[in-house]
Structure 1
């Protein structure tokens, strides 16, 4: 049975991704900053008939929490097949380039970028034990520098000084990581779940949570011939599914 760790999975897209992977026969470690919320989410999935799920406390902004999560997971399994780096924050709006407090930049980058890197590094040894390891970095179309430079893009006017750049940095890290692992069985990709109606955006997005989660699950379950080092976004590239960086 393949195993997956999903950060920020006690609600919304991460939670639905957990459900869909359980449906595919994966054992899901449901990452959550809050132990009670994580346990509640796991109990809800068990109530639906999914037995192979348990919560893991992990706060990606805390080195101690990440190390503790790695130790906990290592006591449960020797192999991690999939890591979905889903935890993230928006930082609130508006986010002008001039005027947004530097503390907000640091907070957003700590979660969306530095936390993702530290989590990936912490679990790399377990991932390397998998025959088909997969890393899915949850990004955003707002991280595309090419699209942000195109006045014809539908979200051209949606500029965020903290959030978008944190995802651009995430994308850049994904490229480097995929390159370093190019001669291994790893598949490392950045996936934009799309503009989805969630608490993250006050339910303003037109997309659905099941559709968004399915995009993450697709990348998490790529076969041996699947792509790596790509930026997938059905929202911004409906024809090819591959977004410009």
Structure 2
């Protein structure tokens, strides 16, 4: 319309961090904001998310916003996308940090710090419901977030996706050579085939046939979901050459998920994630970073 005043473009980089209210996610938000990035901190729980934002603002980091996000809820993801489109018109950085372990703890954690890692490994139990939740959250939830926000990232001059992964998602964790090769054959692997493999994993899980078919055991669904997300990240990077899409293992960090048995602080783990999220133009894409160094997906 003649005489209309257009809104000036937003010049600061905009980042979304999933699972941003605690642990590594909260530290990623703090470090990105400290680097001059506008951060949209997301969390399932509105109160916890809003409290996290206030905590960061108390440190003098003012350009941080909260938006509720449940990554397994399509309407919640759509609401976030609408907010970003209306408020900024684009997205520059997406850090997919939200995840679940998908296991049950069979007893209370040992309070002796030196014994915690041993306890974690010996006192967790994989369940069918937990496996389904892990696949649904760690793979499909994250994938849906990426797919929905991808047009906004493509509107950026330098879109970045940093998918927080784990050494548990490396292909060496899968004993089935055929499946391992398929997940590493990025030129021929498809999303549909990933769906089929995940469906086969869950079927074998329910039949108590994981070892028989070469799947990992112990945190089984978490390992398979992360391996699948690593593969999908590589597929996506091949399709979107203008973006930098990478996976990053922050190390074994003291968080709720590790029952505080980690050896790194959330600040140390988050720094690895932030470094990948802020890779320069022309930097690696479709790569795996382990504690700051580019490494093999195998």
Q: TM-score, normalised by structure 1?
A: 0.88
Tell me if the contact between 1:147 and 1:244 (Cα under 8 Å) persists in the aligned partners: no
Deviations 1:10-50 (A, max 9, x none): 11101001000111000000011111111100011111101
Mapped partners of 2:56, 2:268: distance in 1: 18
How far apart are 1:241 and its partner, in Å? 3.7
CA drift of 1:178 comes to 0.6
- Specify the SS of the correspondent of 1:75: helix
Q: Give the C-alpha shift of residue 110 in structure 1.
A: 1.1
Take 2:294 and 2:236, find their aligned partners in 1: how far apart are those partners? 21
Aligned residue number for residue 26 of structure 1: 37
Q: Which has the larger radius of gyration?
A: 2
**What secondary structure sits across from 2:91 in the alignment?**
coil
TM-score, normalised with respect to structure 2 = 0.73
Q: Secondary structure at the match of 2:295?
A: coil
Q: 1:180 aligns with which of 231, 239, 253?
A: 239
Residue equivalent to 1:226 = 283
Alignment match, 1:74:
85
Q: Distance in 2 between matches of 1:107 and 1:57?
A: 20
8 A contact 2:103–2:130 mirrored in 1: no
Partner of 1:160: 219
Contact 2:104 / 2:127 at 8 angstroms: preserved in 1?
no
**Matched positions, count:** 230
**Corresponding residue number in structure 2 for 1:154:** none
- For the pair 1:3 / 2:14, whether they are aligned, the reply is yes
Give CA deviations for 1:127-161 in whole Å, capped at 9, x if unaligned.
11111100011110000122666xxxxxxx98421
SS class of match (1:201): coil
Root mean square deviation of aligned Cα: 2.0
Contact 2:95 2:162 in 1 (8 A): yes
- CA–CA separation in structure 1 for the residues paired with 2:238 and 2:169: 20
Within the candidate set 228, 239, 253, 1:169 is matched to 228
Aligned-partner SS, 2:163: strand
Q: Partner residue of 1:152?
A: none
Aligned-residue offset at 1:76:
1.3
Structure 2: gaps spanning 5 or more residues:
1-11, 106-120, 176-215
Alignment check: 8 A CA contact 2:103 2:131 kept: no
